Amino acid sequence: MNKFFPNRLALITLVSACVVILVSMGLRQTFGLFFSAFEQDLNCSRTEFGLAIGIQMLFWGIFAPLFGIIADKFGGNKAVFIGFVIFGLGIYMLYSGPNTGIFFQLSLGVLVGTALGATAMSVPVSEVGKHFSNESRSMATGLVTAAASVGYFISPLFTKYSLGAAGWENTLKYFMYFILFGLIASIFLLPKKKEGINEKNLIKGQNFVSALKEAFSHKGYNLLVAGFFVCGFQITLVATHIPGYMQDRGLGGWSATIILALIGLFNIIGTLGMGYLGTKYSKKILLSILYFARAIVICIFIFLPPSLFTSIFFGITFGVLWLSTVPPTNGIVAQIFGTKYLSTLFGIVFLSHQFGSFAGALLGGYFFDLYGSYDYAWYIAIALSIFATAVHLPIDETPIFRKEQSV
């Protein structure tokens, strides 16, 4: 078609992935706004709510590589379609069925988390990555990640308004319509034709087991896995607990919504910018800079007196850094190992991200219930940023060139 899109299939898949991720990540971003209603109507504590979000993150991570296997073998459209069906079931149970105790953890935690394993980030991004060359892949995945940012911007504003005007049960009903829209879009997340892009480092006879062995024997892959844990901890700590944190600092109401919306808006700039920079500069260096910048931003936010200015500053700056880690991380995996098993290999990296997300969601609520403050969770987030800054530097981004093997 043109220099960027190799064919019409790549364009259709990119648009489909953008819609899928806009819906799934947009809805995911809003759950923290439900806490006050859940606390009042369901007597839900911060630890219980944090546990549910933590379980959600954990199941998201566990099922990301499993749905990645399905996508690599049968196509991303089938994997994501199944995910949206499960997503709808989880939301339906949350507003219509028993929604306290174990049922609350099952619906918001297990089912929604399982669904996100297919619909959010790893599978859609990786399926798009398969359609593009190393030269344009970072920009393509940056576009998909930017679509998540659009969802991040729109969803908190809609959800905050709907919670006040219609209540949390009706808001969850409205979510079902968005999920149906994502379900339809997932049909067009089409697999790459086998005769498409010819990669130099693709083994004809490489199977799933040998791909995993190769990845885990590569030092750079293990360092990526370790580093992405940090990303998960930080963004889930913010997404889950920023409403409670702002309320406790005397800036409740719309302040948290403004932060989440600004994160979504400016993450568009961050992901597109990082997608472009990933085509020009070393991706590991970009990742180190990103994580170091996060440490600085968090320090400014928590140590300066709370105000509208610091809230806006945090929303803008952390928004630029929010999902900007995804294009270079996915790009390094594809650059080193090729795209044949990209959904699976990036899904495993994303599993580490979700272990971090589980810790961020759970520890934020735990520390508050124990000490009446989120400070210790923020201190951990800062220390992890320094760790991630260092851990990406030794990664060798050189593609693996293999001798051709027979099937």
What's the pLDDT score for residue 196? Answer: 44
The amino acid that residue 85 corresponds to is V
Measured between alpha carbons, how far is 119 from 209 in angstroms, rounded to an integer?
24
* Residue 406 belongs to some domain of the structure: no
Res. 221: pLDDT tops 60: yes
Instruction: Confirm if 308 and 255 have CB atoms less than 8 A apart.
Output: yes
359-381 tens-digit pLDDT: 998 888 889 888 888 999 999 99
pTM value?
0.77
CATH number of the domain where residue 28 is located: 1.20.1250.20
Please give the tally of structural domains in the chain.
1
* Residue 227 belongs to some domain of the structure: yes
What tokens appear for 185 in the block?
A: 């879009």
* Residue 143 belongs to some domain of the structure: yes
245-295 tens-digit pLDDT: 888 887 766 788 888 888 888 988 888 888 889 888 899 999 999 999 999
152-210 tens-digit pLDDT: 788 888 998 999 899 999 999 999 999 999 999 999 988 776 654 444 444 555 677 88
The amino acid that residue 356 corresponds to is G
Measured between alpha carbons, how far is 370 from 367 in angstroms, rounded to an integer?
5
**Structural domain of residue 371, as residue ranges?**
11-189+209-391
| Alpha-carbon radius of gyration of the chain | 20
What's the pLDDT score for residue 45? Answer: 83
* Residue 194 belongs to some domain of the structure: no
* Residue 405 belongs to some domain of the structure: no
Q: What is 274-288 written as a DSSP string?
A: HHHHTTTS-HHHHHH
* Residue 385 belongs to some domain of the structure: yes
* Residue 204 belongs to some domain of the structure: no
* Residue 3 belongs to some domain of the structure: no
Instruction: Confirm if 67 and 123 have CB atoms less than 8 A apart.
Output: yes
Instruction: Confirm if 130 and 264 have CB atoms less than 8 A apart.
Output: no
What's the pLDDT score for residue 190? Answer: 81
What's the pLDDT score for residue 131? Answer: 85
Average the pLDDT over each of 9-18, 99-108, 243-252, 279-288 and give the range with the smallest value.
Answer: 243-252
